[in-house]
Amino acid sequence: MSSDKRKKESDQPELPIEGAKPVPPKKTADANGNGADHVVAETVEAVVHKPFDPKQLGIGLHTRVDRGFLDYASYVIRDRAIPNLADGLKPVQRRIMWALHEKDDGRFIKVANVVGHTMQYHPHGDASIGDALVVLANKRYLIEGQGNFGNIYTGDPAAAPRYIECRLTELARTEVFNDSITDFIPSYDGRNKEPVTLPCKLPLTLMLGTEGIAVGLSARILSHNFPELLEAQIAILKKQPFKCLPDFTTGGLMDARDYQDGKGTVKVRAKIKTKDESTVVIKEIPPTTTTESLIASIEDAVQKGKLKVKSINDFTSEDVEIEVRCPAGVEAEKLVDALYAFTDCEVSISSRIIVIKDNRPVELTVSEVLRENTDQLVRILKRELELREKNLLDELHYRTLERIFIEERIYKKIEQCKTNEAVCAAVYEGFKPFKKELIRDIVDADVERLLQVRIRRISLFDINKHREEMERTKADLEMTRKNLKNLTKYVIGHLEALLEKYGPLYPRLTTKSARHEEVDVKAVAFKSFKVAYDRESGYVGYKVSGEEFKLECTKFDKILLVFKDGTYKVTELPEKLFVGPELFYCGLPEREKVFTCAYTDRKASYLKRFTFGGTIMNKAYLCIPDKSRILFFAPETPKVLYVRYKPAPHQKINQQTCDPAKIEIKSPKTRGRQISIKDISSVTADPTRGWDEKAATTEIVFV
C-alpha cells in the first residue's frame, strides 16, 4: 500500500463509540509498511480505553421522552378531550355525526350499526363511541333517540346499543352539514376520509356544553339556552349589547352573579316545594347530581347530625319527585333551608371555556365564543351563497344551451358525423351564431352533457315550460346576488327564521334568579347532639352518658369548659373528652354573655361579673387569680346571693346576702369586689340549701 493511499485513509474520522474524541494524527508507515502495526495499536488503544460516559446516553433518552410526552399531550388536547371552536364538537362526537350523516335516510338506525360505522374513523373502541352518542342524544339538539337512552335524573344507564335506535334531527341535517364546503383528511388507517370540522351554522360550543380533562388543562363549558344564543347572535350582528347565562337540562334555580361571562361560577339550587307542614318535595335537581346522589347527600347530612329527616321517598320517573318528611317539632321551611345548606340541593359550578382554535387550545369568554361563531356563520352563509350563484349560473348556461340545441336543431348536424371529434366539432360550429346569447363560452363538458340529451327529451321539449324554468332560475340568481350584497341582513333573517321555528321547542329550563337568599349554616343547623358530663368517669361529650350539663348542640357549636381552679377553655364539640372530676361549668360560649363568679384566695373572698369575650381554641385561660378556688359560678346575674361563713369564736354574723347586680361587668381578669375576709362555707343563689331563716342576716355592702 502506498503512503499516499494510507495517508488518505488516515484522514477519515474514527469514532467507533459515541462520545469518543477524534484520534490525533499518527505517523504513517513507509512504503514497505514499516510502522503500520504501531499505528493500528495506538488507534485501538485510543478507542478501547476511552471511558463510557452515561450522560451522553441520558441526554438522548431525556430528549426522546420529552418529545414523546409533548406529542402525547398535544394529541390528547387536540384530538380527544377539548372541543373545536369551529363546530363545538370533540373528535369522537364529530365522527359520530359524520357516520350518521353518511347512513342517514330519514329512518331510525340501530345504535350498534352507527357505532360500527363510526369505528372506521375513530381508533379508540366502541365503548367510548356508544357513551358519547348517548350523551349527544340526551342533549336533544342533534340526535333523536328511540328506546332507553338512560335517565339524566336518576343516572340510570342506557340500554345496550343493539336495542336502541337513533337518527339525525332536522336541525342537524339542515344546519350542520354541507359536503360541498367541507374539508376532509384521511382517517387514521387511510382507508376513508373524515371531515376536519363540520361547517356548522349553530353555536354548538355553548349549546351542548362539555367537560374535558387533558394533559395540563381542563375545560368545563356550561350549556346555554339555544333561542337565547340565537338572540345574542342577532344582537351581535345589529351591534347591540347582549348577555347569555347557562341553562341546564335538569332545571333548577340559578344564581349567576359570579358567572363573569364564562370565567366564574354559578350557584344552582334544586327546586323545592312545601307540600304541607311536615313534607317538602324536590321537583328539580341541580346539574352534576342525580336523584340517587342527592338522596345520598341528605342521608349523609342526617348521619352527621346536620339535619333531621323522618323519611325520604323517591317517586322519580319522567319527572323528578323526591319527598322528604320532617320529624316532629321541625318546620318544613327550616328543613328547606337546611337542605340547601348541608346537601347537594345547592351546588356551585365553575366555568372555564377552553376550545381548540387554529389548532391550538385557547381560553375564551362566552361573548368571544359567540362572536367567533357569528363570524363563522357569516362566512359559511357567504360561501353557500357564492356556491349557489355559481350553480345557478351553470344551470342557466346549460338551459340556454339546451334550448338553442333543440330549437335550432343543432343535433341534426351530427347525424352524418362518423367520429367523436367530428360530432364535437359540429356542435361547436352550430353554436357560433348564438355566441352572444350564451352566458359564457361553451366547453367540452357542456358538449358532452348536450350529447347525452335523449330523443324523448327533444321530441317532448316544451318551449313555454322551459322559459318558465329559465325565469325562475333568473329570479333565484337575482335573489342570491341581492343576498350577497346585503349579507348581514340575510344572516339576521336566517337566525330569525331559526328562532321562530325552534324557539318554542327549546324553552329555558333553569330559572334565572337575581340572587339566592344566603343561608346561615349555623342558624339552620339542627341540634342533633346532646352533650353531657359524667363526673365519675371524668368524660364530657355527646357520646357520654351523664347527668350533668346536658346540652343540645349542633355540629358547628363549640363548648366552654370551666374548672374549679379557675381555668377555662373553648373546644370543638367533643365526642368523648376526658376532663377529670373538677369540671365546674360546661356550656355554649357567647362573647357577650355575663357570668357571675365568687372565689377565695384564702386571705379574702371576692365577687365579680364579667364576659369571656374572644378566645383561642383549646388554649387554657384563668378567670380568677392563680392558687384561688371558685366558690360560685353561674351564667347571667342572680337576683340575690346567699353567703354562709364557717363558725368561728366571737363571730356574731354567720350569714349574709348580697346583690350581684350592683357590681359592674368587666373582663375575666378583673379581681372583683371583696365580700369578706372570713372563711366562707358556701355561696348559693338558692336560700333553701342550708340557710337559717332565724339567724341574723345582713346585706354585704361593697366598697
Distance, CA of 380 to chain centre: 30
Where residue 144 falls (left for φ over 0; alpha for ψ -120 to 50; beta otherwise) is: beta
Q: Which grid coordinates belong to 124? A: 379508540
Four-residue CA torsion sign, 245, 246, 250, 253: negative
CA angle at 402 for the pair 400 and 408, rounded to the nearest 5°: 95
Measured CA to CA, the distance from residue 369 to residue 496 in angstroms comes to 20
The cell numbers describing 331, all together, are 318546620
Give, in order, the Cα–Cα distances in Å from 248 to each of 230, 277, 321, 353, 363. Answer: 17, 30, 18, 16, 22
Helix, strand or coil for residue 30? Answer: coil
Paired with 284 in beta bridges are 271
Using an 8 Å Cβ cutoff, are 285 and 292 in contact?
no
The answer to whether residues 142 and 136 touch, using CB atoms and an 8 Å cutoff, is yes
Q: What are phi and psi of 220, to 5 degrees?
A: -140, 100
CA proximity to 661, closest of 640, 642, 685, 684: 640
- HEC states along 300-364? HHHHCCCCCCCEEEECCCCCCCEEEECCCCCCHHHHHHHHHHHCCCEEEEECEEEEEECCEEEEE
Provide the CA 288 distance to its chain's centre, in angstroms: 8
Taking alpha carbons only, the member of 397, 400, 395, 425 closest to residue 413 is 425
8 Å CB contact between 607 and 663: yes
Q: Which residues pair with 633 in a beta bridge?
A: 597
State the Cα–Cα distance between residues 147 and 656, nearest whole angstrom: 89
The DSSP secondary-structure symbol of 85 reads T
Q: Is 121 a catalytic residue?
A: no
Query: In sequence order, what are the residues at sequence separation of 6 or more whose Cβ sits closer than 8 angstroms to the Cβ of residue 454?
Result: none
The catalytic residue among 153, 163, 502, 533 is 163
Q: Which residues are catalytic?
A: 163
